[in-house]
Amino acid sequence: MSENGHGFGRVPRKEDARFIRGQGNYVDDIKLPGMLYGAILRSPHAHARLVAVDTSAAEAHPQVRAVITGETLAGLDLAWMPTLSGDVQAVLATDKVRFQGQEVAFVVADSHYAARDALELIDVDYEALPPVIDARTALDDDAPLIRDDLEGRTDNHIFDWEAGDASATDQVFDEAEVVVAQDVLYPRVHPAPLETCGIVADMDKVTGKLTVHTTTQAPHAHRTVYALVAGLPEHKIRVVSPDIGGGFGNKVGIYPGYVCAIVGSIVTGRPVKWMEDRSENLMTTSFARDYHMRGEIAATRDGRVRGLRVKVLADHGAFNGTAQPTKFPAGFFHVFTGSYDIEAAHCAVTGVYTNKAPGGVAYACSFRITEAAYLVERMMDMLAAELGVDPAELRLRNLLRSEQFPYSTATGWEYDSGDYPRTLRKAMDIAGYDKLRAEQADRRANGGPLMGIGISFFTEAVGAGPRKHMDILGLGMADGAELRVHPTGKAVLRISVQTQGQGHETTFAQIVAHELGIPVDDVEVVHGDTDQTPFGLGTYGSRSTPVSGAATAVVARKVRERARIVAGAMLEAAPEDLEWTPGRWVVRGDPTSGATMQEIAMAAHGSLELPEGVEGHLDATTVYNPPNLTYPFGAYIAVVDVDPGTGKVTVRRFIAVDDCGVRINPMIVEGQVHGGLADGVGMALMQVMAFDEDGNHLGASFMDYLLPTSMECPSWELGETVTPSPHHPLGAKGVGESATVGSPAAIVNAVVDALNPYGVRHADMLLTPANVWRVIQGRPFRTDLAIP
């Protein structure tokens, strides 16, 4: 069953049985009696005044049941909805459109073909306005005002936020022997889950209950938001997240299409399905990154890093819909000091509006840690180049040492545990680092093909989080768990997090099996249905294992303690005289006298006389409020070949050594890492959402928003070290986003390393052949704008 016989190990997935047969149940598979289909009319303009919307021809279409406009919604006070960042977002435009693809009208029809036909019959009169496309011009005096809907607003500024000690940092920089500075862009990309976003909204007019089946990573949070927005009480709202075809942060927030489908169901009295196309998904749902960073690193001449200073211009699009804990408008970007012992650091982040879709936090970013990790790892390589030191050697000189944990960073994080040099050395061993450098030197000496070696050593911060500091729209980031053991020893675990492929149905059963000593197959994991599961904040930020995994361990231990009392009654022994051996409570000193969890379960439901105050049955509930985040880390090494004639980059090898503490299921951890490494290849080499000067979204389909295929991905080489989290009940840390966070820097560092003979010190993602070729030519360019 598993490697250690009781739970943890390479347990094959329970989920697979349905998926390999096409028996999964995704939102678009759902068909309800009388169900209608919705489609959205979208703006062709990035910025325009809405003069008139004529829906008469669409309404006359024989298969159309409703046409909803911003005006309709305004009458219901639903034309605008709150975002996860305390801003508002237009559900359907009433005054202006503020990005290309924005929602203007919603058609409900008998089929989705008819709904699409009817969109063509809506006539919209726009008055084009000049757009703000380049975030660096958003705060110019003459920049067009995007958010004139907000009372008193006169510019495109959203927020300023800072962390760290500015004056201490400035002092370190003033004294520093070496300072390296660089503009670093993390371009706008998109998580692009293979399944797009959608919903089936079903308002039952008889019971007054709204049921939505929807692509959500956070079903309970969605329910509360719907309650707040629509004024329906929560017990009359049921949010069901069925099988989700990947989320990657794209499915955290609420999209206008969801609200429109709910309104459509209320208006028509029938279920309404809305399922977006790929182009709609890419153009209008949550993008990721878009951080324009100015990084500075200060060090001594012998390579001791002393300070880091970063200024960020954050492009948030037209509505600030960034998903993150309320008190952190730049997410956890201030973890940017990374894995190094740095005495002073400071970051200042300014968010601006532009005429683009909202988003920012998505695509396995752990709340902006992708940007933070990329920045520091790029700066470390620039410093190494400046000092003429090998980048591995520079890191080894500065990595935190294991005896420094728990370690308080200059910007206020308390890293839980780590053994960084061991992990980096392990990656270097797997890579054969010295031999690779020798090969590279040989090629450079003898004019061979370009070769680059790139290192990234990252520290993640996942498992948001302590409710004192972290909340989403006021909802504290704790998670509940409920466990019930049936009379025959089979168990049901109900959790508040929502898998989108990460294997929770298997691994959470493994945690229960590990704690109770019952087989994994005897534990059913229920998730994603707000009527059936305890409240909690959902799955993103790699928080499932740190928070819900901990809750599961805690609730299982509560059940185990109850079982101890029952076993004491069964064995006529004092509970404190019993000891736990996997699967059994045994009388200390008498191993033959014991009771298995299955025997105890039956007795707990039977006629056994229980001690005063013990109610019988075997179940428990808990809410886990984590004391801190978990801080997994990893050492990644990329080896690339670059063709100087074409600029084509080939990732020859990729070595990834991850340390996420105790591994519940190593097979699943490795699969998570593989997927994240492919993300790194995609972001570093292929993916961008660029815009032209009119605000046209370039890369709005898979024709040019390129995802890595099997051909661009090498065979990954993984390794592991195990440094448990001391505060987590299982010693486990999150890991799902580590590879997406850590890998882009390794690839970019490798490409820049390959271009060293051309004097190249930095190149912005994405490193397409054309872009690499231009870097070789020494021609500067912006990768995020199609403006010459």
Q: Which residues of this protein are in contact with another protein, per CB under 8 A?
A: 12-24, 26, 28-29, 31, 111, 113, 192-196, 243-246, 248, 277-279, 500-503, 521, 667-668, 670-678, 701-703, 707, 709-711, 713, 715-716
Q: Which is nearer to another protein, 7 or 245 (CB)?
A: 245
Q: Shortest distance, CB of residue 170 to another protein, whole angstroms? A: 43
* CA dihedral of residues 173, 176, 178, 181 (deg, nearest 10): 0
Judged by DSSP in three states, 58 sits in helix
Q: Shortest distance, CB of residue 120 to another protein, whole angstroms? A: 14
Q: Which is nearer to another protein, 352 or 677 (CB)?
A: 677
599 backbone dihedrals φ, ψ, rounded to 5°: -65, -40
Burial of 52 (C-beta count, 10 Å sphere; 0-12/13-18/19+): exposed
CA angle 493, 498, 500 (to 5 degrees): 125
Q: Which is nearer to another protein, 445 or 703 (CB)?
A: 703
Q: Which is nearer to another protein, 340 or 540 (CB)?
A: 540
Q: Which is nearer to another protein, 4 or 709 (CB)?
A: 709
The amino acid at 763:
A
Q: Shortest distance, CB of residue 499 to another protein, whole angstroms? A: 8
Q: Which is nearer to another protein, 107 or 620 (CB)?
A: 107
Q: Shortest distance, CB of residue 641 to another protein, whole angstroms? A: 16
Q: Which is nearer to another protein, 274 or 415 (CB)?
A: 274
Which residues contact residue 31 at a Cβ distance below 8 angstroms, ignoring those fewer than 6 apart?
none
Q: Which is nearer to another protein, 206 or 711 (CB)?
A: 711
Q: Shortest distance, CB of residue 522 to another protein, whole angstroms? A: 11
Q: Shortest distance, CB of residue 119 to another protein, whole angstroms? A: 14
Task: Provide the pairing of β-strand 359-360 with 287-288.
Answer: parallel
Name the residue among 555, 510, 541 with its Cα closest to residue 631: 541
Would you list the DSSP string of 89-124? EESS-SSEE-STT-EEEEEEESSHHHHHHHHTT-EE
Q: Shortest distance, CB of residue 750 to another protein, whole angstroms? A: 18
- How far, in Å, CA of 631 to CA of 458, rounded? 10
Q: Shortest distance, CB of residue 500 to another protein, whole angstroms? A: 6
User: Is the distance from CB of 535 to CB of 29 less than 8 angstroms?
Assistant: no
Q: Which is nearer to another protein, 229 or 713 (CB)?
A: 713
Which residues contact residue 476 at a Cβ distance below 8 angstroms, ignoring those fewer than 6 apart?
467, 470, 625
- Residue 641's beta-bridge partner residues? 451, 650
CA angle 130, 134, 139 (to 5 degrees): 80
Q: Shortest distance, CB of residue 278 to another protein, whole angstroms? A: 4
Q: Shortest distance, CB of residue 495 to another protein, whole angstroms? A: 18
User: Is the distance from CB of 346 to CB of 163 less than 8 angstroms?
Assistant: yes
Count of alpha carbons within 13 Å of 386, Cβ hemisphere only? 23
* Number of neighbours of residue 359 by Cβ within 10 angstroms: 30
Name the residue among 704, 549, 568 with its Cα closest to residue 630: 549
Q: Which is nearer to another protein, 245 or 338 (CB)?
A: 245
User: Is the distance from CB of 558 to CB of 564 less than 8 angstroms?
Assistant: no
- List, in sequence order, every beta strand (DSSP E) within 276-329: 287-288, 291-299, 305-315
Which residue is listed with tokens 């693809």?
A: 101
- Evaluated on CA atoms 33, 39, 40, 41, the torsion sign reads negative
Name the residue among 124, 146, 96 with its Cα closest to residue 40: 124
Structure tokens that stand for 539 in this block: 């799955």
Q: Shortest distance, CB of residue 785 to another protein, whole angstroms? A: 23
Q: What is the CA radius of gyration of the chain?
A: 27
Q: Which is nearer to another protein, 352 or 668 (CB)?
A: 668
Q: Which is nearer to another protein, 113 or 781 (CB)?
A: 113
Name the residue among 472, 375, 426 with its Cα closest to residue 657: 426
- How far, in Å, CA of 262 to CA of 91, rounded? 12
Q: Shortest distance, CB of residue 710 to another protein, whole angstroms? A: 4
Q: Shortest distance, CB of residue 644 to another protein, whole angstroms? A: 24
Q: Shortest distance, CB of residue 13 to another protein, whole angstroms? A: 7
Q: Shortest distance, CB of residue 366 to another protein, whole angstroms? A: 17
Q: Which is nearer to another protein, 206 or 703 (CB)?
A: 703
Q: Which is nearer to another protein, 204 or 524 (CB)?
A: 524
Q: Which is nearer to another protein, 18 or 205 (CB)?
A: 18
User: Is the distance from CB of 103 to CB of 263 less than 8 angstroms?
Assistant: no
The amino acid at 205:
K
* Number of neighbours of residue 301 by Cβ within 10 angstroms: 9
Would you list the DSSP string of 733-756? ---TTHHHHHHHHHHHHHHHHHTG
Q: Which is nearer to another protein, 183 or 277 (CB)?
A: 277
573 backbone dihedrals φ, ψ, rounded to 5°: -135, 155
Q: Shortest distance, CB of residue 306 to another protein, whole angstroms? A: 37
Which residue is listed with tokens 């000049």?
A: 130
